Amino acid sequence: MTTPTPHTDGPSEDGRSDSTRSHGARPGGAAPAPAARRSPAHLPLDLVRGFLIGLTELVPGVSGSTIALIVGIYTALIRSAGHVVGAAKELLRGRGWSAVRNELAQVEWRIIIPVLAGMAAAVLLLAGPIHHLVESFPLSSMGLFFGIVVVGIAAPLRMVRWTARPRLVHCALFLAAFLTAFLLTGLVADSDQESPALIVVFLAAAVAICALVVPGVSGSFLLLAMGLYAPTLQAVSDRDLVYIGVFGLGAIVGLASIVQGLLTALEKVPHLTVVIMAGLMAGSLRALWPWTPGAGPITSGDVVSPVLFMVAGAVFVLVLMLLDRRASEAPLAQGRP
């Protein structure tokens, strides 16, 4: 991930100028701006990024979009999602295939395809095992993700242009977002629904998918609060195609509803937006704190293991950031067909 230079008008995770990255900025009928070239060195890293995003979406309290923000592909994913939604709208409006192709041409497929492949692999392969590990080793699991998110908060904050005048506004927004996420992660579910109605599954998916694009809010945690976490994991593990299909449809509807608002915020007030995201990430740490009040006496093993996993998670993120920076510095000529 690269920190934007001071003269830019908005945060950049991919090194492009704001004029190139702006969604919908081309004049009517003009050819879409080509996606930035990407070194082949990013391909394995993007697969790992996608795998991590899919993995974290399986864990209550951890947001996949938080990981996307940490590893530097959040803006690319949101803008690409916006163009996919735009293509669907053009198709429904009967604007013709030319308009649809213009939107799809702006999707950063060299990022999207490996990331989606990694996410799918994580969900299909690890839905059952992750549920078991989180239940069997809750302190160590939460310690690992706590370390990842703590270090990752630096990612959006490094994208902010800190000037003297708006600093108070930044701090106020950070605090408001922190408190919002802190209160949301205090929600608990009474019990999981054994056989939820499909309309409930649809609506829950539409709500939970918002967490995929809003850092600091966990989709799995929202499902847990709605009593649908265990049934959803079980449906994926059992390959329940009806449940999965209804859930996917709800997710598509929810995603289309929120992504345009996020795109507008990232383009109009980019620095304030990422400050809010950092606040949401910080507030969500409440759900990842291993030693919850009222959990009973804490032994030395209950302290050492989570702390070690916190350090491991923090080091992992730092290494991933370093690898990403080196991949970004790889000669672009290697990526030419």
pLDDT, tens digit, for every residue of 266-290? Answer: 778 878 887 887 888 788 788 778 8
Most confident of 25-29, 126-130, 208-212: 126-130
| Predicted local confidence at residue 29, as pLDDT | 40
CB contact at 8 A, 68 and 274: no
CB contact at 8 A, 30 and 89: no
Cα dihedral 189, 190, 191, 197, rounded to 10, equals -80
**pLDDT greater at residue 148 or residue 34:** 148
Distances from the Cα of 329 to the Cα of 113, 258, 323, 326, angstroms:
22, 33, 10, 5
| Predicted local confidence at residue 42, as pLDDT | 74
User: What is this structure's pTM?
Assistant: 0.57
| Predicted local confidence at residue 54, as pLDDT | 85
CB contact at 8 A, 209 and 254: yes
269 φ, ψ to 5°? -135, 65
Lowest mean pLDDT among 40-49, 161-170, 256-265: 161-170
209 φ, ψ to 5°? -65, -25
The arithmetic mean of pLDDT across residues 166-191, rounded, is 76
**pLDDT greater at residue 26 or residue 264:** 264
pLDDT, tens digit, for every residue of 58-108? Answer: 776 666 777 787 777 888 888 888 888 888 888 888 777 888 888 888 888
CB contact at 8 A, 128 and 270: no
pLDDT, tens digit, for every residue of 104-121? Answer: 888 888 888 999 999 989
Residue 19 clears pLDDT 70, i.e. is over it? no
| Predicted local confidence at residue 96, as pLDDT | 79
| Predicted local confidence at residue 242, as pLDDT | 92
**C-alpha torsion sign, points 209, 210, 211, 214:** positive
Most confident of 42-51, 112-121, 132-141, 296-305: 112-121
Average pLDDT over all residues of the chain:
74
Residue 306 clears pLDDT 50, i.e. is over it? yes
Distance from the Cα of residue 298 to its chain's centroid? 33
Q: Which helix (DSSP H) or strand (DSSP E) does residue 85 occupy?
A: helix 74-92
**pLDDT greater at residue 275 or residue 190:** 275
| Predicted local confidence at residue 40, as pLDDT | 67
| Predicted local confidence at residue 203, as pLDDT | 85
Which residues fall within 8 angstroms of residue 116, CB to CB, at 6 or more apart?
Answer: 50
Residue 311 pLDDT class (50, 70, 90 cuts): very high
Residue 176 pLDDT class (50, 70, 90 cuts): very high
| Predicted local confidence at residue 299, as pLDDT | 65
Ordered DSSP codes for 203-271: HHHHHHTHHHHSTT--HHHHHHHTT-HHHHHHHHHTT-HHHHHHHHHHHHHHHHHHHHHHHHHHHHSHH
CB contact at 8 A, 247 and 202: yes
Which of 132, 131, 143 has the alpha carbon at shortest distance from 289? 143
Percentage of residues in the chain with pLDDT exceeding 70? Answer: 69
**C-alpha torsion sign, points 195, 199, 202, 208:** negative
